[in-house]
Every structure is written in C-alpha cells, then in structure tokens.
A and B are shown apart, each in its own frame.
Chain A
C-alpha cells in the first residue's frame, strides 16, 4: 500500500497526462518536484488551479495533478490570467508555470505588474535560457557570453528574474535547480503556503537546444556553478516537529498559516528577510558566475492583492443573482438623481 497523506491521497493521485517533453528535459524534473510538494503538503488537487503561457515549460501543467482545473493561455500572459483567476475565486490555490521566454521577454510587463500587485500565486519559471519550443533561440535570461548551439554568442546581460522580483514587490523569491528536488520541493511547499507573489526561478536545462559546452545553462555548467545558500526544510502547520536549532547557523521563519521554513546556513551568513542583502548577494553571485540558490527573499508582512480589494468572503465566481443584483428600488433612486 502506497503511503497516503492527510487528505487521503497517494503520490499517484498527483499525476497528470503522459509528458511529451524530450527525454531528460529539466521541465519534467520540476513537474516531479511539484507533485512531491503538493503531496507532501497534503493539498487536494481539486483546490488547485494550474495556469501557464506558451512554451515547452507551459505545456507541463498538463503532466501533473489531473484533478486540478487548468488553463494554457497565450504566450506571456499567464501573469494576467492568474490575476483575473485569483480575484475571480480567491479560495483556489493558484499555481503558474512559465518559461524564461514566456516571462522575461514577451510577458515581462504583465509579470512585473502581477508582482507589483502581490497577486497570490506560486509562479514557477522553468529557466533554460532559450526558447525550447521554437527551437533554441536565446531568451532574455541567457547569460552574457553564453554560446548558442550554432555558435552565436550572446553579448547582452541576462535579466535576473529574482532581482527583478524583489525590486517589483514579490514577497517570496527563490532560485533553485530542476535536479535538486531536495531543495526545490520544500521551496514549492513554502511558496504555496505563502500568501502573495511567490516567484521561483528554477534552472532547468534544455537537453535538446542548450546543453552543449559553451552554454551557461547546460546541465554540467549549472551543476558546477551552483551555490546553495542553505539547506531548507518545510514543516506544514499541522506537524509539531521540534527542529534541532543551532544558534547562528539555523534560521526559522513562521508563515501566516503556521507552517515553518527552517534554513540551515551553508557558508553564507544570509537572512532572506533582509531585502538589501538579498539584492547584494544576487549581484555578487552574477559577478562570480555562480547560481545562488535557496530562499532568496521573504516578506510575510505585505498584504496580498485580494486583501487590498476588500473582497467578500464568498468567491466572486460563486455569487448568486440575489447577491449581485441590486433591488429595482435602487435604480429608481438613481433615475431620480439623473433627473437633476
């Protein structure tokens, strides 16, 4: 018997359709971490909405959590679709999947404004530095000096999506690697527990178009340049585990729903709630050609977007005619005003 979680589901219940990614594509590994994270947090897939744009990465929501409603929107606009969906029914748990092209090029503006609003979402960017689905052109996260399969060199600086996210108001910002499930799964759990824009920039090698030598997003290069900030554990609210806590090297943050993230520092003396330090660390990592991974920034103070809107408790999409159609007498009052 497979192990069941608190909502009585086994890990199998988090599966989706058969993947159509290339064998070895980082995106599939991310899907596996997503399934692991939602299972481990005992989230019922029927409470989840899966959203994406267009690209190889954006196809993947089809490959996990069949029981969740999903939408594969147009290229680059998932951030806006998610904004509408979150406001339309704020009781659902929003999960967005995007690519580096989808988010950092065509969809950059809408992505920025979603974070500026602090829309509640777990927003995963499956970052391979290229456009996979259109066969390997550079994306805006391609590092300066990286080489395309045909030999073309990128001479523009990469957009650092984590730095951008911090600047624009996202409240949970993490970087990880598709091959590091031990780090990625708890980061996703934390993102789901967080209320606000949680941005996960996940390095995800495109084995078909960007895995050659000279590429800074090849599996080998990424592995050699990873620089994790900390080991990370996620403890859901219902678990009463006491963690061994080492003053100075361990940090624990409690989230609004009572869940906890514990960070065991690795070399860096790093506090993710310090915004300036986060930006500085990201800058330093770029200069040292390192991929800083882990929970880069966390702000549990800022209200999420739907709180700013003062919405009624019932999701807007469930409101009935009785709840939304004012009585005719109010129209008479307005008619009277329009006579003046």
Chain B
C-alpha cells in the first residue's frame, strides 16, 4: 500500500529554463488539494544555465521543514543527472525524459524509473519558438499529476488563478501538462510509493507567501514612510514587495504618496539615508543581507551613539564574502549583535514564520522609536524567499509607540529639555523632531562624544555616562522585546532552543525524538536581548540543545556570555551547508550527543553526514 500524503519531490532543472513556472503550478496544485506542503528553491547565483533544484514536501502531519530524503527526483537537467540519480532514496522514483534511451551511467539499482518523452512530445505538439523549451517543463507536471493523483481540474484552477487574464497562456500550458498526463495514462505507467489525496477543508483559509512579502506588508502596516535599499539577494524581493504594495495601499486622497522608496547607489548611502530620515522622525528602513551589513557598519554605530531610530531587515545568506548568495544561513548574528566599532549591543527581532514576519516587521518600528536605535529584523533566505503555507496575516490593532517624543506643548509644560538625559532611569532619553519650533527643541546630534545636553564633549565622565546609559537602555529592552514562546513540562530536563527558519525542522525533530522516548521542552527565541524567560528556561534544564544554522555557534556564544553559570549546559546543534535545516540531521546530532554522554565518550563532531551528497 502506498503511503498517503507524505512525499518529497525534487525537481532538477537548469536555471532560466522556465521551471519556476511549472514548479509553482505543481506546488500550488498540491496546496489546493488541502495537503500541508512547503517548497524549497535551491537556486544558483546565475540567470541562465546553472543547475537548480526545487524541493516540494507534502506532509499530512503538517511538517513544513525540508524532508531529509527525496522520494521522487524529476531528472530534467542533463548536467546534474549523474549525481541526481543518487540524491533520491533507495526505493524512490526517478522521472526522466525518455525521448532518447537512458545512458548506462544514469542507471542505478534500487530505484524505479519512469520515462516521459518530453522533448519528442513538445516538438510534435508545440510550435517551434522560444517558448517550446520552456513548455517542456510542463510535461513533468502532467506526469507527476497522473502518477500521484493530482486531478486535472485542480491544475486548471491553479492555472487560471495564476494566469487569470491570459487565456492563451493557460491553454498552452494546459496542453503540455495534459500531454504528460496522457502519456502516463495511455502507457499504463504507475508507481507504488505514495499517493496524494485531497484533504477536504485542508488549507482552508490558508495563504501561501514568502517571508519577504510578509515583512514588507508588516512594514507597511507598521507605518514605514521611508525605505532606502540597494539590490542584493536574498533581500531585494522585500524592497520590491514594498514597491509593489505601497502604491496600492498608501496614497493620500490626492493620489500622492505617503512614502518614499529610494534605490540607493550602495548600502553605505542606504544606511545614511535611513539615518537622515530617522533623525527627521520618519519611520525609516532598509533591507539587505550580510555584505550590505558589512558596509553599513559605520553608520549603524552613528545611529546607536546618536540614538537615531531605523529598522534593518537582514535576510541572511551563505557567507563569508560573497559566499553562497542564493543559499540559506544564520551566520550574521554576531555581525548584527555588536555591529560597528566600539561597545555596541543591538536589538534583534527574530521572526520564525509568515505571521511573525508580518507581526515583528510591524512592531520593529515601535521598538526602534521606543529605544531610539537601529533595530534588526533577522531573517534568512529560507524564510524570506521560499514559499510557506500559513494562516492569514492578521493586523493587531494597537496604537503606534512613538517613544518619548516631545511636542511643543510638552516642552512648554516641562520647561526644559536635555536630549541625552536619562530622566526615567531606563536609559532612554527624550527626543524632539526637527520642525518642532519650540525654543528649547533643537539639539545637535553627533557620533562624537557628547554630554546630556547634546553638546560636544571629550570629558571622560560624560563619555562613560553615555556608554553606561546606552547599556542601560539595552537592559530595559529585555522586558520590552517579544518574549520567547516556551513549551514547558516540569518533569522534563532536556531543553531545545531554536529561532528563525529552524523552527519547523526542530518541531519535527522533537516529535521524532519523543517517539523514540526522548522528551524535550522547547524555547523559540524571538529577540535579542535575552529576556528573563530565557534565563528561567536555562536554569530549568540540565542539557540544552541550541540549534542554529552556522559553523561557530554564534548564538550559543551570546548565551554563554550572558549566562556563564549555565554555559556548560549548552550543546550546539549546527547545520551550515547552506540548505534549509532538516529534522533528520537535528535528530542525528542530538542522538550522537546523547550516546557520547551516556557512554562517557567525549563528543566529537561527526562530519560524515557532510561528506555524503546533500539531498538537494
């Protein structure tokens, strides 16, 4: 009996071959059937020709992380075929173009091959022209649909959702999908691996989106009025989503814009524009990834020291240097945490799914204005650019927090104003906005030493007071930033901590560990600085697995610095091959640690898993 609704499909194609469109149709069709599903796009840093893999997971239990193994490989890229045949699991299925017979070096034992003569069919049925090569990819959609039970009606609906006003496009795609479908049916081809079955009411009300879109929408609802950015993968689509939605959502009654989006000449310009706009009192943001943050460092220090709000969406990718620009990573945590020279500590908000991307993006502007400082929203490529099914985005109705901004009336009432004076003991001074015409309002912002009145000062006492107050501000932020989400059972002494895009893989890994008798509590970290709830969690567990996607345990280092008393409890689970995390790898590392601990053998990182061909 084939299993139902538990399947991973990897589609290997060449970049720029039109597969983005066919993969999208395939994914959305499965989604439309009501089956929980996710997609991971492993694309190259290239416009045309380099290999790309698109991995879809359908899973009735709702696990959306990347699946450890590939059940079905659609082998449509000759350049990678010799490796792709080994990426599929034993007992899996390979779909290939059998217009020509399969060469010997692409034959492998233990898997089933199903051919579809895609080239021959498109040549016969599709007019010669630039579209023909692209249409070829629609054939595997049809083949998979027949083999796994996606009905053509669903596909037709998805096509019309996608290409609504272009009937010719719908027809030409449908023709090719049908060709693939019919070929399977007419030749009695089948497989016994798994079937997809409609789940009535499944995915009801759910949306499909990427984190960058959710962040852009969150920023708009958070009242962003200014964005300066410089194109860089994987962050460009965030600013581009702003450019797409702002004209719809944010025109005044005369059709004029209540926002400005500026494509800057580089990230240095972008960050300084944010500083200028933030100083003026506008809700200002940028989006970038690691290389951009490196360039923005100097001005991040200016904003920290002169206390100018601004929001920085950082979509992490593989570093160092240009690294793997189109793969995912969480390796810029330290870069953000202490960005710029001198003593700094920055607030970082950490979404983990579509809804929290929207919520924290919206909230980030409040945090930036409340604390008068740059605030990072830490994303990564997996979260930012891959499609995720999600409950709909939801607006929490609450007033903006503009922080301690003084109006002319406030100044009248108060009778005095010192820009950098800590009146409330929380490290946060009062602020005025340029344009405030009260005689007390103006002040001189600067990145050099200053006293509480914002006057230039090289006095050691003023300097140290400023540094200490800025630290106090960071301490105050502990209670203000989003609290972690904790699953806690007092009888359990093993904890797991994760954040960001690791959440889905960790959730699944914990369920698997539980099934094998290892119960764990969980803390989903949603911000830095660490809050009291995190300390409690650390105190309540003997072993804490801290999962992150980088080589050096960057978050673990922050935890060890913050909680030296619990430092030895932390065991890092590290995934850093640039691919979205999988539950299987997390389980493997946890089990390896447990085994070493019980056997008294010192833990050694087993790197054999990295030597295997990654199951892209």
CA distance A85 to B265 in the complex (A): 17
- 0/1 string, A215-245, CB within 8 A of B gives 1: 0000000000000000000000000000000
Q: Within 8 Å CB of A32, what residues of B?
A: none
The smallest C-beta distance from B271 to any residue of chain A, in angstroms, reads: 8
Interface: B274 (CB within 8 A): yes
**Surface stretch bound by B, among A64-72, A135-143, A267-275:** A64-72
Alpha-carbon separation in the docked complex, A86 to B268 (Å): 17
B463 at the interface (CB under 8 A from A): no
Q: State whether the Cβ of B498 lies closer than 8 Å to any Cβ in chain A.
A: no
Contact status A309-B217, CB under 8 Å: no
Across the interface, do A80 and B269 meet the contact criterion of CB distance under 8 Å? yes
**Nearest B-chain residue to A309, judged by Cβ:** B260
Closest B residue to A61 by CB, please name it.
Answer: B444
Q: Which residues of chain B have C-beta atoms less than 8 A from A323's C-beta?
A: 252, 258
Which residue on A lies nearest to B222, using beta carbons? A325
What distance in Å separates the Cβ of A50 from its nearest Cβ neighbour in chain B? 8
A81 contacts B435, CB within 8 Å? Answer: no
Contact of B264 among A45, A80, A86, A338 (CB under 8 A): A80
CA distance A337 to B272 in the complex (A): 35
Q: Which of A59, A81, A88, A321 is close to B281, meaning CB atoms less than 8 Å apart?
A: A88
Q: Which residues of A contact B228 (CB under 8 A)?
A: 83-84
Nearest-neighbour CB distance to chain B for A106, whole angstroms, equals 10
Is A207 on the interface with B (CB-CB < 8 A)?
no
Stretch at the interface among B142-150, B202-210, B374-382, B552-560: B202-210
Knowing A81-B275, A326-B250, A339-B208 touch, does A88 contact B445 (C-beta < 8 A)? no
One of B276, B392, B433 near A80 (C-beta < 8 A): B276
Expressed in whole angstroms, the Cα–Cα distance for A310 and B256 within the complex equals 6
B156 within 8 A of A: no
Residues of chain B with a CB closer than 8 A to A334's CB: 217, 245, 393
Chain B residues within an 8 Å CB radius of A88? 225-226, 276-282, 284
Given A89-B434, A331-B393, is A339 in contact with B444 using a C-beta cutoff of 8 Å?
Answer: no
Q: Does the CB pair A74–B276 fall under 8 Å?
A: no
Q: Are B434 and A49 in contact (CB under 8 A)?
A: yes
Expressed in whole angstroms, the Cα–Cα distance for A264 and B161 within the complex equals 69
B392 pairs with A82, CB closer than 8 A? no
Least CB distance from B211 to A in Å reads 13
Q: How far is the CA of A313 from the CA of B254 in the complex (A)?
A: 10
Q: A17-B455, A84-B275, A310-B257 are in contact. Are A321 and B223 (CB under 8 A)?
A: yes
Q: Is B439 interfacial (CB 8 A cutoff)?
A: yes
Stretch at the interface among B48-56, B63-71, B330-338, B395-403: B395-403
| Distance to closest chain B CB from A107 (angstroms) | 9
B215 at the interface (CB under 8 A from A): no
Whether A324 and B250, one on each chain, are in contact in the complex, defined by CB atoms closer than 8 angstroms, is yes
Say which one of B73-81, B298-306, B579-587, B608-616 lies at the interface with A: B298-306
CB pair B264–A321 under 8 Å, yes or no, is no
- B-facing mask of A316-340, CB < 8 A → 1, else 0? 1111010111101011101100111
Contact call B223/A325, Cβ cutoff below 8 A:
yes
In the assembled complex, A147 has its CB within 8 A of some CB on chain B:
no
Interchain CA distance A81-B114 in the complex, whole Å:
60
How long is the Cα–Cα vector from A91 to B28 in the complex, in angstroms?
Answer: 48
Are the CB atoms of A110 and B268 closer together than 8 Å? Answer: yes
The reply to whether the CB of B443 lies closer than 8 angstroms to some CB of chain A is: yes
- Whole-angstrom distance between the alpha carbons of A332 and B284 in the complex? 25
The distance from the CB of B362 to the nearest CB of chain A, in whole angstroms, is 9
| Complex contacts, B284 vs chain A, CB 8 Å | 84, 88
By a CB distance below 8 angstroms, the chain B residues around A318 are 281, 433, 435
| Chain B residues, CB < 8 A from A312 | 252, 254, 256-258
- Let me know if A109 is at the binding interface, CB within 8 A: yes
When C-beta atoms are compared, the residue in chain A nearest to B399 turns out to be A321
Task: From the candidates A46, A68, A84, A112, name the one contacting B277 in the complex (CB within 8 A).
Answer: A84
User: Which residue of A61, A316, A332 is within 8 Å of B226 (Cβ)?
Assistant: A316
Cα distance, A269 to B251, chains bound together (Å): 49
Measured CB to CB, the nearest residue on chain B to A334 is B217
Residues of B within 8 A of A112 (CB): 265
A54 to B450 Cα, complex, angstroms = 15
What is the CA–CA distance of A77 and B279 in the complex, to the nearest angstrom? 14
A141 to chain B, nearest CB (A): 21
Which B residues are CB-close (under 8 A) to A67? 439, 442
Does chain B have a CB within 8 A of A266?
A: no
Asked, given contacts A62-B444, A87-B262, A89-B280, whether A319 binds B223 with beta carbons under 8 Å apart, the answer is yes
Asked if B273 is at the interface of the complex by the 8 Å CB criterion, the answer is yes
Question: Complex formed: what's the CA distance from A113 to B265 in Å?
Answer: 7
CB-based contact A339/B206 at 8 Å: yes
Cβ contact of A84, chosen from B162, B258, B265, B273, cutoff 8 A: B273
B249, B271, B442: the one within 8 Å of A330 (CB): B249
Q: Are B258 and A331 in contact (CB under 8 A)?
A: no
For A113, what are the chain B residues with a Cβ–Cβ distance below 8 Å?
264-265, 269
Given the complex, which residues of B lie within 8 Å of A82, measured CB to CB? 276
B272 touches A324 (CB 8 A): no
A92 close to chain B: CB less than 8 A: yes
Q: Within the complex, what minimum Cβ distance (angstroms) separates A278 from chain B?
A: 25
CB distance from B90 to the nearest CB of A (A): 38
Instruction: Answer whether A73 and B206 are a contact pair too, CB < 8 Å, given A68-B442, A311-B257, A316-B225.
Output: no
Within the complex, which residue of B302, B395, B447 is in contact with A331, where a contact is CB–CB below 8 Å? B395
- Whether A319 touches B225, Cβ cut-off 8 Å, given contacts A80-B272, A110-B269, A340-B162, is yes
- Residues of the A chain whose Cβ atoms lie less than 8 Å from the Cβ of B213: 338
**Cα distance A81–B152 in the bound complex, in angstroms:** 56
CB closest chain-B residue, reference A81: B276
Contacts of A87 in B (CB 8 A): 226, 260, 262, 273, 277, 282
Smallest CB separation, A200 vs chain B (Å): 20
* B302 CB contacts on chain A under 8 angstroms: 73-74
B225 x A313 contact (CB < 8 A): no
A325→B217 CA distance, assembly (Å): 11
Most buried by B among A72, A311, A338: A338
Contacts of A157 in B (CB 8 A): none
Which residues 276-309 of A sit at the B interface, judged by CB distance below 8 A? 309
A67 to B168, CA, bound (A): 65
A323 to B448, CA, bound (A): 36
Contact A110 B265 (CB under 8 A): yes
Digit string of A140-181 for contact with B (CB within 8 Å is 1, else 0)? 000000000000000000000000000000000000000000
> From B394, which residue of chain A is reached at the shortest CB distance?
A331
**Nearest-CB distance from B307 to chain A (Å)?**
12
Give the distance to chain B from A82, nearest Cβ to Cβ, in Å.
Answer: 6
A24 within 8 A of B: no
Residues of B within 8 A of A258 (CB): none
User: Cβ of B161: which chain A residues have Cβ within 8 Å of it?
Assistant: 340
Q: How far is the CB of B257 from chain A (nearest CB, A)?
A: 5
- How far in angstroms is the closest Cβ of chain A from B246? 10
- Bound-complex Cα distance A283 to B226 (A): 40
Q: Name the residue on B nearest A317 (C-beta).
A: B281
Nearest-CB residue, chain A, relative to B302? A74
Our pick among A51, A71, A74, A338 for the contact of B209 (Cβ within 8 Å) is A338
* Sample (7) of A-B pairs whose CB atoms are under 8 Å apart: A67-B442, A74-B447, A84-B274, A84-B278, A311-B260, A316-B280, A338-B207
- Known pairs A46-B442, A81-B279, A84-B228; list 15 more (Cβ under 8 Å): A45-B442, A69-B441, A69-B443, A71-B446, A74-B301, A80-B268, A84-B226, A87-B262, A87-B277, A110-B269, A312-B257, A317-B281, A321-B399, A321-B400, A339-B207
Identify the 8 closest CB pairs spanning chains A and B, nearest first.
A84-B276, A88-B280, A80-B272, A84-B273, A88-B277, A317-B281, A338-B207, A85-B276
